[in-house]
Amino acid sequence: MELNAISIGFVVFTIFTLGGGFGVVTTRNLFQGTIWLMVSLFGVAGYFILLSAPFLAAVQILVYIGAIAILITFAVMLTRSVTRVKTRYIRLVPSLLASLALFLILIFGVTMPIFGGVSPELAPATVASTRDLGAALVDENGYVVPFLLASVLLTGAMIGAIFIARDDSA
């Protein structure tokens, strides 16, 4: 891997992603954990830019960091008084062994070419753009049905969340 802007960016975003993820699963203070989650999600958005999917990077920042992380922050604050649970972890050793074994299996799977050879990266000109995605989302041969179903799902989730979290006594 030669040293250029993409490989430097890859290293930086790897530090962001994995460092943030490590912070999420280890920090005692959940509010700090939310900040670490934002760092990790930002690193993932950087990967999307490296993989020439800038629209997904923008959606990642808007939806994940802008909406989901803020929602989690609210949940942390609303359940504040009991966030200081005595023990941070349960089932620590078996879970550690299980996730470590999973990691080793996955690493073995992705580094050994057991699924056949991997093609080199394609030139950026041959990759679909945001304009192509927008056209495909409303194309009847493309993704118009999943697109509409996603709208219904979001509406249902919004109504359901309001209904579940509503305070009946108020």
Partner 1 sequence: MVPLWMYLAVAAALFSLGVFGALTRRNAVAVLMSVELMLNAVNINLVAFWRYSETSTDLLLNGYAFTAFVLIVAAAEAAVGLAIIIMVYRNRRSVIPEEAAALKG
**Least distance between partner 1 and beta carbon 43 (Å):** 9
Among 107, 126, 110, which residue's Cα sits nearest to residue 118?
110
Residue from 12, 32, 54, 85 that binds partner 1 (CB under 8 A)?
85
Name which of residues 2 to 31 contact partner 1 (CB under 8 A): 6-7, 10, 14, 17-18, 21-22, 24-25, 30
The CA distance from 129 to 92, in Å, is 44
Is 110 a residue that touches partner 1 (CB under 8 A)? yes
**Least distance between partner 1 and beta carbon 124 (Å):** 10
Q: Which two tokens stand for residue 123?
A: 């030139």
Among 51, 63, 64, which residue's Cα sits nearest to residue 20?
64
Name which of residues 112 to 131 contact partner 1 (CB under 8 A): 118-122, 126-128
Backbone phi and psi for residue 2, each to the nearest 5 degrees, phi listed first: -75, 160
Per-residue x/- marks for partner 1, 49-78, CB under 8 A?
-xxxx--x--xx--xx--xx--xx-xxx-x
How far, CA to CA in Å, does 53 sit from each of 104, 111, 121, 144?
29, 24, 14, 20
Is 144 a residue that touches partner 1 (CB under 8 A)? no
Q: Which two tokens stand for residue 85?
A: 């649970």
72, 34 contact by CB (below 8 A) = yes
**Least distance between partner 1 and beta carbon 109 (Å):** 8
Is 146 a residue that touches partner 1 (CB under 8 A)? yes
Residue from 3, 90, 114, 145 that binds partner 1 (CB under 8 A)?
90
